[in-house]
Amino acid sequence: MGSNSSRIGDLPKNEYLKKLSATESISENDPFWNQLLSFSFPAPTSSTELKLLEEATISVCRSLAGLWTVFTLGGVGSKAAASPELSSPLANQSLLLLLVLANLTDASDAPNPYRQAIMSFKNTQVLPILEILYHVEERNSHHVYMALIILLILTEDDGFNRSIHEVILKNITWYSERVLTEISLGSLLILVVIRTIQYNMTRTRDKYLHTNCLAALANMSAQFRSLHQYAAQRIISLFSLLSKKHNKVLEQATQSLRGSLSSNDVPLPDYAQDLNVIEEVIRMMLEIINSCLTNSLHHNPNLVYALLYKRDLFEQFRTHPSFQDIMQNIDLVISFFSSRLLQAGAELSVERVLEIIKQGVVALPKDRLKKFPELKFKYVEEEQPEEFFIPYVWSLVYNSAVGLYWNPQDIQLFTMDSD
C-alpha cells in the first residue's frame, strides 16, 4: 500500500490495515499515518467487486468494529466514564451540532442558513411522498403506511400547514386525472390524500389508512389557503361519495331489519356497525369543512363556491342527531351566501359568483359562527415501533441499493421476500 497501488487480493495481508485495526496505540506523529493515507486503491464499480472487497476485508472490519464503538459510544472497560458527556464523544458532539444549527436565531439581519435550507426542502421532501400515495395501487401496504405516517407527522406543525400553500408547482406530470398547470403544494396534497381515501373505500377498506388520511386533512384544515378549484371540488365530491354510501348502508340496514322480523333462522349482516363507521367518517369530513369555514373562510372562495354548488347534499344532515351541532356553521354559510346570490339575480357567471362570495365574506358576521375545539391529531407510536420500522427501512435499502453488494446469508432483520 503506501504510495503504491493495491489490489483487493492484497488487503488481507496489508500491514498498514493490520496496524490500523490492532489494539496498540499509534502516535499522531507516527509516519504510519502519511503512509496509510497516501495509498491508491481503485473504488469498486459493481456489486461483484464489492462482494470481493467484503470477503477480503472481513477480518479487518471485525477489528475496526471495536474501534468504532470506542469512538461513538465510548470504550467499555473497568473505569467508569468521568461524565455522561464523555461516555459517547462522537455521538454526543454530533447531536450538539445539530441542536445548535437547528436553534440558532433566524432573522432578516442574521439568517440561519441551516433552518432556511430545511424549510426550502418542502418541495423535494413532500412531492416524492405524494407520488408514492398517488400510485397506491402499485405499492405494498407498508410503503403506503410509511408515507402516510410521515405526512401526518408533518401536518402536526402549523408552520408546515401554512407554508405548503405558498409553494406553487407547475405541470405535475404524474397526476393524470386532470392537467394541473399550476397548483399549490397544499392543494396537491389535499387532492392526493382524498384520492387515497377514495381508493381505500372501493378497494382495500383499511380503517388505519382512512384514519391517517383524515387526520392529516384535519390537521391542515384550519390553515387551508387559496384552495385550487379542483381541490375544493374534490373535498365536496368525497363528501358526496360518503353521503351516497351512507344512504345505501342505511337502506340495507332497514331491509335487514325487516328481514329479521320475518325470519329468525337466517343470520343477517351487521349493518349497524357499518353505519357507525361511515357516520364517523362523515362527521370527520364535516368537521374538516367546518374548520376551514371557521378559521379561513376569507382565504377560500373556491370552497364556498363548491359548497353552494352542491348544497343539496347537506340537507339530509341538518337535523341528523349525529351531525346537527357541526352542521350549524355550514348551514349558516350556505344560507348567507345563497341569499346574496339570490339577490344578485339569475344566470350568474362563475366569475360573478366568486366576486359575490369574496364581497360577502367581508359582510358575514363572524360572531355568528360557533367555535369548536381545534382539530389536532398526532401520530402515536405503537409499543416497540422499532420492530416494524428498522427491518422495513433496511429492506428498502437492500432492495434499492442495486449498486451495492449485501451478503444475503448475513441478513437477519428481514426476510428476503419483503419489499
Share of the chain above pLDDT 70, in %: 86
Give the three-state DSSP class for 168: strand
Task: Say what the pLDDT of residue 264 is.
Answer: 58
Residue 20 sits in the same domain as residue 135: no
Taking only the tens place, the pLDDT of each residue in 134-157 is 998 887 777 888 899 999 999 998
Q: Which three cell numbers stand for residue 271?
A: 349493518
Domain for residue 93, yes or no?
A: no
Give the residue with greater pLDDT, 88 vs 239.
Answer: 239
Give the tens place of pLDDT for each residue, 58-79.
888 877 776 666 665 555 444 5
Counting the structural domains of the chain, the total is 2
- Do residues 142 and 250 share a domain? yes
Q: What is the pLDDT of residue 303?
A: 96
The reply to whether 46 and 152 lie within a common domain is no
Residue 334 falls inside a structural domain: yes
pLDDT (tens digit per residue) in 14-38? 888 888 878 788 888 888 888 877 7
**pLDDT at 95 > cutoff 80:** no
Q: Which of 335, 353, 368 is the last residue of a domain?
A: 368
Clarify whether residues 169 and 244 are in a common domain: yes
* Same domain assignment for residues 68 and 130: no
C-alpha cell at 285: 369530513
CA dihedral 68, 69, 71, 75 (to 10 degrees): -140
Helix ranges (H only) for 185-311 are 185-202, 207-221, 229-262, 271-296, 301-309
What value does the mean pLDDT of the chain take? 82
- Of the candidates 380, 379, 325, 372, the residue with the CA atom closest to the CA atom of residue 222: 372
Average pLDDT over residues 346-359: 89
Q: Is residue 96 part of a domain?
A: no
- 232-284 per-position pLDDT tens digit: 999 999 999 999 998 988 888 888 777 665 555 555 566 778 888 889 999 99
For residues 157 and 214, state if they share a domain. yes
Indicate whether 375 belongs to any domain. Answer: no
Residues 245 and 332 in one domain: yes
- Separation of alpha carbons 226 and 232, rounded Å: 10
* 91-126 per-residue burial string, b: 16 or more CB within 10 A, e: under 16: ebeeeeeeeeeeeeeeeeeeebebeeeeeeebeeeb
Cβ contact 160:386 at 8 Å: no
Which pLDDT value is given to residue 215?
A: 96
Q: Are residues 204 and 307 in the same domain?
A: yes
Contact between 376 and 219 (Cβ < 8 Å): yes
Q: Which of 56, 73, 90 is the last residue of a domain?
A: 73
User: What pLDDT score was predicted for residue 183?
Assistant: 94
Over residues 229-234, mean pLDDT: 96
- Residue 201 shares a structural domain with residue 68: no
Q: Is residue 95 part of a domain?
A: no
- Domain residues for the domain of 28 are 8-73
Q: Are residues 153 and 50 in the same domain?
A: no
Ranges of beta strands (E only) in 328-382 are none
- Whether 284 maps to a domain, the answer reads yes
Rounded CA separation 331/317 (Å): 10
- The DSSP result for 383-406, as a single string, is SSTHHHHHHHHHHHHHHH-TTS--
Q: Is the pLDDT of residue 12 over 50?
A: yes
Same domain, 45 and 192: no
Asked if residue 393 is part of any domain, the answer here is no
Q: Is residue 40 part of a domain?
A: yes
Final residue of a domain: which of 368, 388, 405?
368
Residues 157 and 265 in one domain: yes
* Backbone conformation region of residue 376, classed left if phi is above 0, alpha if psi is from -120 to 50, else beta: beta
